[in-house]
Chains A and B, each alone.
Chain A
Amino acid sequence: MSNAPLLSVRDLSKHFTMRSPFRGTTIGTVQAVNRVSFDIAEGETLGLVGESGCGKSTTGRLLLRLIEPNNGKVLFQGQDLLQLDARQLKKIRKSIQIVFQDPFSSLNPRMTVEDIVTEPLYLQGGMSRREMRERARMLLDKVGLNAAHITRFPHEFSGGQRQRIGIARALAADPRFIVCDEAVSALDVSVQAQVINLLQDLQEEFNLSYLFIAHDLSVVRHISDRVAVMYLGEVVEIADKNALYSAPRHPYTQALLAAIPVAHPRLRGKRARLGGEVSSALNPPPGCRFSLRCPFARDVCRQQPPALRQLDGRHQVACHFAEDLHAAAA
């Protein structure tokens, strides 16, 4: 891991305006992603977790400009992606790729595997049809599929195999960075483990960096170097994975971890459960967004939004009382 990060995200924001369907007047703003900042080093995996609607997927798509952000910076190798024009963007797209969640809708059912996998190469240009086919065979082999199957259509493959095709497509143009957007969430457990191993092997071989978006905390722990936790559009905690899982500092992270089912029936027992539900991202509360559910919330939490601040080492947390909570736990 070198010092300058491969990717640096600063204050990335996306707000959607909700309009009344009849009068067209603005009802409010959904702050889907609000001032999100993080770094990813070369060869590193940053896990991004949170519950549905927390904006983790949107964040991934903002990085790739599949959705246009309202604000912020995405520095990739020093270049701000949000400032690029269409031509420059097209060129840089080969370095930044994405693997999607749904192994069914993410592959065009009318295209052969060869056409799917070589599309990024075709779009970038500069390769003959034969070279592209050779590369497609090589990629299929890399992701553990039979290279002879390049003339087949997606529906002839199982979910896990289709996800491998999606990975091969992401690898086609030799990227440096891949957003894995719930890339293993739709797979059966036995197949999920295969794909996780594959992603790790590929990372090692090609020195890839991942943003690994998922809701399954144990999968994220396994694959990530560092983990960021999002709640209602904001990052509430980022830390090295061991620090985050063994000593979570934000009450939301603590609640998330406490909610994971036990690994063995003998470990059952009453644990502190987080009450309430994720509130709406439409017109969030003025203070800390978690204050509505937080068992430790005080007045200052409801009025003043806590900033993401550095604790010891590389542990960052957005909570007014992180130190107190930590002391209380210890």
Chain B
Amino acid sequence: MQTEPILRVEGLRTTFSGDEGTAVAVDDVSFDVNAGEIVGLIGESGSGKSVTALAIMGLLPKDTARVTAERILFDGHDLVRASEREMRRLRGRAIGMIFQEPMSSLNPVLKIGDQLIEPIRIHERISHRAAFDRGVELLSKVGIPSPIQRMNDYPHQLSGGMRQRVMIAIALSCSPKLLLADEPTTALDVTIQAQLLDLLLEIQSETKMAIVLITHSMGVIAECADKVVVMYSGRIAEQGPVTEIFDRPGHPYTKGLMQCTPELTGNPRRLTTIPGSLPSLSALPPGCRFAPRCGLALPTCEAGRPPMIGLRGTHASACIRADELVAAAAQPEEADA
């Protein structure tokens, strides 16, 4: 896929100011999303992954949040410099978004059908009748049984999984080129999560839209993503193709994340852990933000911000010892083969 990326984020920075002073939630984040690609944005709470998505969409509250970037290029538009009117035209039509909470992202007093038809009619001049038919088609596409009846239901009449399907249908209603999915399966049970991930993959392979999938679960990444962006404490720790990241993690944080998720094979007595906890945004370490928790940290790690080091292909890591890590990971792999 050597095309021009559909989304190019460069130097995204987001600060929040409040009573307690200012906090940098996202600090110099850059990544590309190619057409037809699923990019997994993974990180723990406070890593800035959701803020990144909201910043791209221009949905952060204007009074407390400040978004700057060299550019956020989407399909020929620079989203940082776009006017609110331009953004409104893009949102929902060219860029769709689904959120974590299937309970609160639908309006409880409006019928499913109305919430589905509304975005279609905002962006396209078609009759109510035509929009309704499109809505029914979309509902059946996202696997909702008896879609015509469901158009007249209210959100509370549907289960969490069904509501999330409706959200996906709404996001798909204008065939967007890019879908931002912010923890779309986190609030759901495993069997429902599996159904929804299958659905997203199916739709993606059919429509070839690009997806940015935000999650905290390595499993979801392993299941869906083509490319991974690992975020820690507002910065990118590592990014690269998914198999690269899983086979040869180039950042100790990524490696730690994978090790501390219990596996379904083997019987280790203890889990490997990452010591300590995430730094608070008001007391960030000066150098590498992971350094205080890192077993491999050198004195230089605490001194200054580590640069992104290019590894094999598009794989890059913000760790000065990335080469060592990758080399160490490669050995047992070859021994296996």
**Within the complex, are A and B direct neighbours (CB within 8 Å)?**
yes
Interface residues of A (CB under 8 A from B): 51-52, 158-161, 188-194, 196-197, 200, 215, 217-219, 221-222, 242, 245, 255-268, 273-275, 277-278
**Of the residues B197, B261, B274, B275, contact of A218 by C-beta under 8 Å:** B261
A261 touches B220 (CB 8 A): yes
A245 touches B270 (CB 8 A): no
Nearest 4 CB-CB pairings of A with B: A261-B219, A193-B260, A222-B262, A51-B189
Write the chain B residue with the least CB distance to A252.
B191
Q: Please give the distance in Å from B46's CB to the nearest CB on chain A.
A: 8
Given contacts A190-B274, A192-B260, A217-B190, contact A268 B223 (CB under 8 A): yes
A189 touches B257 (CB 8 A): yes
A265: chain B residues at CB < 8 Å are 221-223, 225, 242-243, 246
> Can you report 21 residue pairs joining A to B where beta carbons are below 8 Å apart?
A51-B189, A51-B191, A188-B45, A188-B278, A189-B217, A189-B218, A189-B257, A191-B44, A193-B274, A194-B275, A218-B261, A219-B262, A221-B264, A259-B193, A260-B190, A262-B222, A262-B223, A263-B261, A266-B246, A275-B195, A277-B159
B197: chain A residues at CB < 8 Å are 261
Bound-state CA distance A258–B264 (Å) is: 12
**Of the residues B223, B256, B270, B293, contact of A197 by C-beta under 8 Å:** B270
B274: chain A residues at CB < 8 Å are 190, 193-194
Bound-state CA distance A53–B193 (Å) is: 16
A263 touches B219 (CB 8 A): yes
Q: Please give the distance in Å from B231's CB to the nearest CB on chain A.
A: 13
Contacting residues of chain B (261-314) with chain A, CB-CB under 8 angstroms: 261-265, 267-275, 277-278, 280, 293
B219 touches A277 (CB 8 A): no
Write the chain B residue with the least CB distance to A186.
B45
A-B contact count (CB 8 A): 126
A222 touches B271 (CB 8 A): yes
A222: chain B residues at CB < 8 Å are 262, 268, 271
A261: chain B residues at CB < 8 Å are 193-194, 197, 217, 219-220, 222-223
**Of the residues B246, B256, B262, B270, contact of A190 by C-beta under 8 Å:** B256
B256: chain A residues at CB < 8 Å are 190
A255 touches B191 (CB 8 A): yes
Beyond contacts A160-B277, A188-B44: 6 other A-B pairs, Cβ-Cβ < 8 A, are: A189-B261, A221-B264, A258-B194, A259-B194, A261-B223, A263-B261
Write the chain A residue with the least CB distance to B185.
A261
B198 touches A273 (CB 8 A): yes
B278: chain A residues at CB < 8 Å are 158, 188, 190
Write the chain B residue with the least CB distance to A255.
B191
Write the chain B residue with the least CB distance to A157.
B277
For residue B161, CB closer than 8 A to chain A, the reply is yes
Bound-state CA distance A197–B259 (Å) is: 13
A200 touches B261 (CB 8 A): no
Interface residues of B (CB under 8 A from A): 44-45, 159, 161-162, 189-195, 197-198, 216-223, 225, 242-243, 246, 256-257, 260-265, 267-275, 277-278, 280, 293
A190 touches B257 (CB 8 A): yes
Q: Please give the distance in Å from B333's CB to the nearest CB on chain A.
A: 12
Bound-state CA distance A236–B51 (Å) is: 42
A196: chain B residues at CB < 8 Å are 262, 271
A192: chain B residues at CB < 8 Å are 260
B225: chain A residues at CB < 8 Å are 265
**Of the residues A188, A273, A278, contact of B195 by C-beta under 8 Å:** A273
A277: chain B residues at CB < 8 Å are 159, 161-162, 192
Bound-state CA distance A158–B277 (Å) is: 8
Bound-state CA distance A158–B281 (Å) is: 12
Bound-state CA distance A191–B280 (Å) is: 14
Bound-state CA distance A277–B160 (Å) is: 10
Bound-state CA distance A268–B197 (Å) is: 12
Bound-state CA distance A218–B271 (Å) is: 12
B216 touches A188 (CB 8 A): yes
A193 touches B272 (CB 8 A): yes
B269: chain A residues at CB < 8 Å are 200
**Of the residues B219, B242, B246, contact of A260 by C-beta under 8 Å:** B219
Bound-state CA distance A258–B293 (Å) is: 34
Bound-state CA distance A287–B190 (Å) is: 25
